[in-house]
Amino acid sequence: MHAATPLLSATWFDGRSPQAQDVELQWTGSELLLHHRASGATRRYVGREVQWPERTRHGQRQVLLPDGSVLSLPDAAAWDEWSTQLGLSPSLAVRWALSWRASLAALGLLLVVMTSAWTWGIPWGAQRVADWMPASWEARLGESVMTEMRDQGWLKDSQVPEAQRQRIDAAVHRLLASVPADWNLPPVRVQVLRAPDWLGPNAFALPGGQIVVTDALVALLDSGQGPVDEALLGVIAHEIGHVRGRHGLRMLTESAAAGALMAWWIGDYSTLLAGAPTALMHAQYSRDHEREADALGLELMHAAGLDPRAMVRFFAALKKAAPKRDGDDPWFGLSTHPADSERVRFFEEGARQRAP
């Protein structure tokens, strides 16, 4: 018996019966001694194998012993005083948790880290993934997304007349011939497909170079007679800009990273189980992606000899079809775009730069 060491009363549950047993605890510096009051027997436990309780402001303390038995300490204040006397101080994390100032500082630091990761870390990481991923992998990813979209009925065969689609294909072929050589595009395939009504007149690029133009967009911009409207080609040039920036791959990566970050924050990893098509149809391209695609699309329009004012007509047609939208209405598809007024000014300025 180490008489100089203070004793502490506790209740012991041996793990074999629900009967509570009165004991006294004693600490030797490396071992926890458990003295059974009724029998006088002493049990010894190596201190480093004991799971000591964390200090909290309320509630009793429980000590988990290596043999599976449990010590219950209803008098939390007595335990805290006893453990402090013996040098069993709480961990730094616990001390921080018990200090409102430290907790507030930790919360502030966490918010800074989260905001930084959300604002800069995720886009930076997505770009690195896009740079690292081989083009063949990206193409297979795009094919799998397209297959699942068709299997789920989100995309169906076009109802645009075959002759009209052939005219569009020929115009797109000429447009692609004007792509700057240093863009290093993967093989680009533009398909006209029928999409749900909620998607409206739209176009979007999948990872790997596949571009979908909806029947509704063709109906909005192309009469089916004469040359293909430059506005339709301008929209396709914008989507080629997305392919050039590998925005589809970056958006999927950003969506997965954002889901992981939120799952870590809320402790629910089920959000990571959403499929890639769902991410593509509901996650949003960043405004920076859209502005970059607009700039690349304008460059391609200049190279192909297209008038950028055709895009002004495009936004006017959208305004007429959906008067309440201004580039942020989800009726117009996958992304949070810059406001129409901003994009109109961009293409008007692009037309002035083209003028001799």
What's the CA gap between 301 and 119, in Å, rounded? 31
> 210-214 and 189-194: which strand pairing?
parallel
- Mean of pLDDT values over 41-47: 91
Q: What residue segments make up the domains of the chain, in order of their start? A: 8-94, 133-354
What's the CA gap between 113 and 44, in Å, rounded? 45
The CATH class given to the 8-94 domain equals: mainly beta
For the stretch 281-293, pLDDT in tens is 434 446 778 889 9
In this predicted structure, the answer to whether residue 245 has a pLDDT above a threshold of 70 is yes
Q: Is the dihedral of CA 16, 22, 27, 28 positive or negative?
A: negative
Cβ neighbours of 310 (radius 10 Å): 20
Q: Name the pLDDT band for 103 (thresholds 50, 70, 90).
A: low
* Residue of 317, 133, 302 whose CA lies nearest to 218: 317
* pLDDT on residue 266: 53
* pLDDT on residue 273: 41
| Structural tokens at position 273 | 């189980």
In this predicted structure, the answer to whether residue 307 has a pLDDT above a threshold of 90 is yes
What's the CA gap between 291 and 182, in Å, rounded? 20
Segment of 20-29, 80-89, 166-175 carrying the highest mean pLDDT: 166-175
* pLDDT on residue 170: 96
> 21-27 and 8-13: which strand pairing?
antiparallel
For the stretch 340-349, pLDDT in tens is 888 889 999 9
* pLDDT on residue 60: 78
Task: Name the E strands within 37-167.
Answer: 42-46, 61-64, 70-73, 156-157
* pLDDT on residue 253: 72
In this predicted structure, the answer to whether residue 26 has a pLDDT above a threshold of 50 is yes
Inter-CA distances, 15 with 69, 71, 254, Å = 5, 10, 49
First to last CA, the chain: 101
At position 177, the amino acid (one-letter code) is A
Segment of 165-174, 241-250, 332-341 carrying the highest mean pLDDT: 165-174
Q: Name the pLDDT band for 216 (thresholds 50, 70, 90).
A: very high
| Structural tokens at position 65 | 């012993």
The larger pLDDT score, comparing residue 355 to residue 65, is at 65
Q: Name the pLDDT band for 96 (thresholds 50, 70, 90).
A: low
**What residues pair up with 64 in beta bridges, in sequence order?**
51, 70
Compute φ and ψ for 193, nearest 5 degrees: -135, 155
What's the CA gap between 21 and 74, in Å, rounded? 13
For the stretch 143-195, pLDDT in tens is 998 999 999 999 999 999 999 999 999 999 999 999 999 998 999 999 999 99
What's the CA gap between 223 and 231, in Å, rounded? 12
In this predicted structure, the answer to whether residue 76 has a pLDDT above a threshold of 50 is yes
CB neighbours of 82 closer than 8 A, spacing ≥ 6? 6, 8, 25
* Residue of 77, 64, 82, 81 whose CA lies nearest to 24: 82
Of all residues in the chain, the percent with pLDDT exceeding 90 is 38
- Mean of pLDDT values over 94-116: 67
Q: Name the pLDDT band for 3 (thresholds 50, 70, 90).
A: very low
CA 341 from centre of chain? 29
In this predicted structure, the answer to whether residue 313 has a pLDDT above a threshold of 80 is yes
In this predicted structure, the answer to whether residue 322 has a pLDDT above a threshold of 90 is no
| Structural tokens at position 281 | 């149809």
Average pLDDT, the chain: 80
What SS3 state is found at 84? helix
Compute φ and ψ for 201, nearest 5 degrees: -70, 115
* pLDDT on residue 285: 42
Q: Name the pLDDT band for 256 (thresholds 50, 70, 90).
A: low
For the stretch 113-149, pLDDT in tens is 666 665 666 666 666 676 777 878 888 888 998 999 9
* pLDDT on residue 240: 96
